[in-house]
Structure 1
């Protein structure tokens, strides 16, 4: 990514262009930093929570298109970031807010993008772009602003040279460098080792609210390092990249020992692969905070927060024998029947493909943390 160090009024009015790898291009105005960036173009259907989206490590190396027409209305605050920085490669909006209005706002979204060097584009038809991505699929893209936009063919050639998401190992680029502890709120009831594959800050907080002391470990943590914290349970976090690139040694080791295991998003895909299921890349993925999912164990339908471009390939309506006992699909997306959750019937392990911490909402899936607590309590008993 190449950016200017700081935006100016002239730069913010600079022409910009989004170029997709299939040759379609959209012209607009620079938004955020001026320069160029490359990534996988994806769309997010959330109408709120853009600060949480931007700082979600699962969006690493992706250019996020917001389907909501107005973005930036509530500015940026100092409380809602999900990690230490913005992770999106680029940002695409139709109508950015001219002036943020919220009592918690400390600065504008535009200024924050500039400060963190995130190249974006505004003033384009995001509805047309979203329809194009839905029909053709998520694809490589580049956002260019400033000078040298006239040679569209040269920009397209550079987009096509950029790496794709399939086969990308990205957890090592977003994980914590050092282990850290999030203490339990109130009385400590359990200890959990959380493998940081791209974890969001709200996730250990949700566990801490339930009396869990969370030891967040780097993605490179060994099985010995996981058990050195004396965990009552192990958590596999969300994260970016292709699950086929991940090392499953720790996941399989936890399953063999029978320690309660809970995975979300990327963690769901790792559990699926450890059980012997394959994973595959979705055409355009699920991203947003309005995805309907059915919990097949209760029949309940919940509205959920998603950010995933890969999914587990498991049979929806049958129990599968795995090296760790019987497994079944526990949750399914009602839009397209994509597998949204797995559970083992003979060992204390389950996972979902979405985000139960759900910052900034909805909160229909918060019960999954309680389900994890129940597994640990049953194991202790």
Structure 2
């Protein structure tokens, strides 16, 4: 079967007017979002179900996607939050002993518009040179509606990201013979954060993003996990104020990605939007204490400005080896440490999973 036999025409229109012609998979329609790229060679299913991609058109730079199918076990959330999917080629004959379906069927079930058979290398170069920009994927005639679509594209803004992905009720997941109680804030959390805690003997209660310090104390947690999530962290002023109050409780805190950013903002730091973000499973991070470099999985478009951290409040613990942006903070005045990368990455690498052990050790020390 040739590529041209596998789908109808689809188009990607960027905010600068660039048009990519390709073919359609998933559902038909028109979707507008922020065009980003991720460099992961595997874990495409984790990408599709990561709530941090809320509101975005996700480009996979690896040329062949879908070759090992999909399954329920690898989902990072109950559904997909991406607006659209962009790949060079998708595999319609996947093969893996764990597979339960194919990626095209998955996209249809999740009501996601996809486009393939475009030059993803060219698209990635544009984003790297110009920066992240909005775009639209459509199966309609883009040339006939170009000016109308461009107006919509230029007006698009990702809003209410956390409230769109967080849960509305508390849910508890217990380990066999649990030793610790952890409250996991759901800012758009990935399931494997919960799994990493559970397998270390933690009873994990996933709490909505708006949970207050008073409500948290009623759970009597030994530790607090601030999760990953989507959007501009600085827009969440109410949550930031709430995190500031929670940090003052003295309960050990571990923050990942958006959780790292929200805690930093609550302690007087500022954040900035990166030109094209860090997304993929090959981001090098330097631990400034050990001077060791780790390969990490990341997915973020904003970063904490390390220079905005008051030395009396905390110390930058990790930096990105490529652009030297802040990748971690250890705090002096509150019982907390945070990282920008994902130590729980289900698709790997697993270099930094020891941070969960460190979090457990801090809780054990506090209990004693």
Q: TM-score, normalised by structure 2?
A: 0.95
2:34 paired with 1:43: no
- CA shift, 1:280, in A, is 0.9
- CA shift, 1:150, in A, is 3.4
Task: Tell me how far apart the structure 2 counterparts of residues 98 and 205 of structure 1 sit (CA, whole Å).
Answer: 31
Please list, as runs of the form range in 1=range in 2, the aligned pairs for 1:97-176 lying within 5 A after superposition. 97-147=91-141, 149-163=143-157, 165=158, 168-176=159-167
- CA shift, 1:147, in A, is 4.7
The SS at the match of 2:58 is: strand
Q: Unmatched 5+ residue regions in structure 1? A: 1-8
Against the structure 1 CA distance between its residues 209 and 280, is the aligned structure 2 distance closer, same or farther, given a 3 Å change threshold? same
2:362 paired with 1:372: no
Match of 2:252 among 255, 260, 265: 260
Task: Tell me how far apart the structure 2 counterparts of residues 193 and 11 of structure 1 sit (CA, whole Å).
Answer: 50
Q: Unmatched 5+ residue regions in structure 2? A: none
CA offsets per residue over residues 260-306 of structure 1, 9 Å max, x none?
11100000001111110101111100001110001122222111110
Q: Give the match for residue 282 of structure 1.
A: 274
2:262 paired with 1:270: yes
- CA shift, 1:86, in A, is 1.1
Pairwise CA RMSD: 1.8
Task: Tell me how far apart the structure 1 counterparts of residues 108 and 63 of structure 2 sit (CA, whole Å).
Answer: 21
Match of 1:195 among 172, 185, 202: 185
Q: Would you say the 8 A contact 1:38–1:159 is kept in 2?
A: yes
- CA shift, 1:99, in A, is 1.0
CA offsets per residue over residues 327-357 of structure 1, 9 Å max, x none?
0101111011010001113432010001111
2:348 paired with 1:361: yes
The SS at the match of 2:22 is: strand
Q: Give the match for residue 179 of structure 1.
A: 170
The SS at the match of 1:131 is: helix
Q: Would you say the 8 A contact 2:11–2:142 is kept in 1?
A: no
After alignment, is 206-215 or 340-349 more displaced?
Answer: 340-349
Task: Tell me how far apart the structure 1 counterparts of residues 147 and 136 of structure 2 sit (CA, whole Å).
Answer: 12
CA offsets per residue over residues 52-82 of structure 1, 9 Å max, x none?
0000000000100000000011111121001
Q: TM-score, normalised by structure 1?
A: 0.92
After alignment, is 144-153 or 83-92 more displaced?
Answer: 144-153
Q: Give the match for residue 331 of structure 1.
A: 318
2:227 paired with 1:237: yes
The SS at the match of 2:307 is: coil
- Residue-pair matches, total: 364
